[in-house]
């Protein structure tokens, strides 16, 4: 049975952009500041709950408080001309449809779905696309349950922001758990399923159970791990402590564990303060008692956690609580990236300094890592090779499994913030993997992992290694 703890229950209360003027703590800001926040919230998603407002944000430090930057719209997230345009529309009381038309124009210019999520990641079943799933890497399937396409609070940096602003044509969602199970039956190469969103932990346990229990069938014993990507342990830890179905949720995790599957909570902790409250610490403890492993990940975000001391403190707190530091990501090339991004050289310096300050137990963490079009690329070092200053890069995951763990080199660039801003080292005109990526795009490749004939012929003709 789940461990009994003493945490006071709390009703869930959420604020959206229509409620900005009703958030008591915002009254200390001026009218122009609140109007600018309203303008940004027309373009980018905003949702916050009162636990975040009351217990995580230091309102005496606003607007510089990192948790405020992480959860509330900031004027600098829009280009000055775009911000002025929306502010003007709001000031003169323009109709909602006019405001939204202008907001859409700004959204479409923000690279709403990076890294080939639409073009290359969606798998097929009997020739039909499965829009609620992604299968970018051979061993892992991502599943977007339709009931989990929101969050307890939105992060301002979120790379899946289009799912929350009504861009329905770009929204990943799946309604049929049986299609997931059937796809997995036909793909024994998959050994891990990641439930993501949104946040699957917004679902009631009875709904989540419908998705998880079919994966415990004996014919799916090739599924070694079930992962749940969630910010709930940070933003709404009551989900695991005092919510009405919290005990049932932990019993479900115990059931998954007892069935011989690894249950991993991929918790997004962006700042040590998210682990400082008694409720947050109790949530971690209860999850561990239910047989779940908590693996912690977050992007490096300017104004939020771009400080080595913050990351070292965060990893140490995770170790104390029995959680596993897992990833430090690079902010993706989407949304208000200009506001949050940190140059790769600086990101590597922050990571390395923090890494040096933790024991071997904390060095399970990997980073800085970019989830880019060809795969998950690690900035593994800075070196001088053959008289040239270079970034040492490595594929942690890749569209072609043979690329995994392969090291390659980019010219050192102090200003670059993403893979597409880097140049190959040693005079190469393009990356060695680019012909294969072009072939995938030209062949309208989809991740079937069974029949590679169309792409394999194209790639082989370009002199590239064949698929496994």
pLDDT in tens, 96-131: 999 999 999 998 888 776 645 555 788 888 888 888
194 close to 140: Cβ distance less than 8 angstroms: yes
Mean pLDDT computed over every residue of the chain: 89
pLDDT of residue 197: 85
pLDDT of residue 120: 72
pTM of the entire structure? 0.90
Nearest by Cα to 183 from 141, 155, 245: 141
pLDDT band at 333 (very low <50, low <70, confident <90, very high): confident
Q: At what angle do helices 453-461 and 434-442 cross, to 10 degrees?
A: 140
Can you give the length of the chain in residues?
468
What is the average pLDDT across 53-74? Answer: 97
Overall domain count for the chain: 1
Does position 467 have pLDDT exceeding 50, yes or no? no
Distance CA(412)–CA(81), nearest Å, equals 33
31 occurs within a structural domain: yes
18 occurs within a structural domain: yes
114 occurs within a structural domain: no
Least confident residue range of 28-42, 62-76, 142-156: 142-156
155 close to 70: Cβ distance less than 8 angstroms: yes
24 occurs within a structural domain: yes
Range of the domain at 34: 14-108
90 occurs within a structural domain: yes
pLDDT of residue 211: 93
pLDDT band at 146 (very low <50, low <70, confident <90, very high): confident
pLDDT tens sequence across 422-456: 999 999 999 999 999 988 888 765 555 544 433 34
Least confident residue range of 83-92, 317-326, 337-346, 433-442: 433-442
399 occurs within a structural domain: no
Asked if the bond preceding 300 is cis, omega within 30° of 0, the reply is no
76-85 in b/e burial notation, b at 16+ Cβ within 10 A?
Answer: bbbeeebbeb
Does position 253 have pLDDT exceeding 50, yes or no? yes
pLDDT band at 468 (very low <50, low <70, confident <90, very high): very low
268 occurs within a structural domain: no
27 occurs within a structural domain: yes
């Amino acid at each position: 049975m789940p461990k009994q703890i003493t945490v006071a229950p709390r009703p869930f209360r959420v604020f959206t952009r229509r409620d900005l003027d009703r958030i008591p703590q915002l009254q200390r800001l001026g009218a122009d500041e609140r109007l600018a926040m309203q303008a940004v919230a027309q373009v980018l998603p905003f949702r916050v709950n009162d636990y975040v407002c009351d217990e995580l944000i230091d309102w005496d430090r606003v607007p510089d408080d990192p948790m405020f930057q992480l959860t509330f719209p900031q004027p600098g997230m829009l280009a000055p001309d775009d911000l002025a345009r929306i502010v003007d529309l709001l000031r003169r009381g323009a109709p909602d449809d006019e405001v939204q038309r202008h907001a859409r124009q700004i959204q479409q210019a923000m690279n709403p779905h990076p890294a080939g999520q639409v073009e290359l990641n969606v798998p097929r079943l009997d020739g039909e696309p499965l829009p609620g799933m992604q299968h970018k890497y051979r061993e892992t399937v991502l599943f977007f349950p339709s009931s989990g396409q929101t969050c307890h609070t939105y992060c301002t940096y979120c790379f899946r922001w289009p799912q929350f602003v009504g861009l329905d044509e770009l929204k990943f969602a799946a309604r049929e758990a049986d299609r997931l199970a059937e796809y997995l039956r036909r793909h024994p190469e998959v050994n891990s399923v990641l439930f993501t969103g949104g946040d699957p932990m917004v679902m009631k346990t009875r709904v989540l159970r419908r998705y998880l229990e079919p994966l415990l069938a004996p014919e799916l014993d090739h599924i070694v791990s079930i992962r749940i990507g969630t910010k709930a342990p940070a933003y709404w830890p009551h989900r695991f402590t005092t919510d009405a179905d919290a005990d049932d949720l932990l019993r479900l995790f115990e059931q998954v564990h007892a069935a011989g599957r690894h249950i991993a909570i991929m918790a997004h902790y962006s700042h040590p303060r998210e682990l400082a409250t008694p409720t947050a610490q109790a949530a971690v403890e209860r999850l561990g008692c239910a047989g779940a492993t908590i693996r912690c990940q977050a992007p490096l975000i300017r104004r939020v956690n771009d400080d080595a001391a913050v990351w070292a403190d965060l990893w140490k707190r995770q170790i104390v609580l029995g959680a596993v530091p897992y990833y430090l990501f690079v902010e993706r090339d989407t949304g208000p990236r200009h506001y949050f991004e940190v140059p790769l050289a600086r990101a590597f310096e922050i990571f390395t300094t923090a890494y040096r300050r933790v024991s071997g137990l904390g060095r399970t963490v990997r980073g800085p890592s970019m989830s880019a079009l060809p795969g998950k690329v690690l900035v593994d070092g800075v070196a001088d090779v053959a008289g040239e200053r270079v970034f040492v890069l490595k594929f942690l995951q890749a569209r072609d499994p043979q690329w995994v763990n392969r090291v390659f080199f980019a010219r050192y660039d102090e200003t670059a913030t993403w893979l597409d801003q880097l140049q190959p080292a040693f005079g190469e005109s393009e990356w060695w993997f680019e012909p294969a990526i072009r072939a995938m795009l030209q062949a309208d490749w989809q991740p079937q992992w069974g029949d590679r004939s169309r792409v394999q012929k194209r790639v082989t003709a370009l002199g590239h290694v064949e698929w496994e």
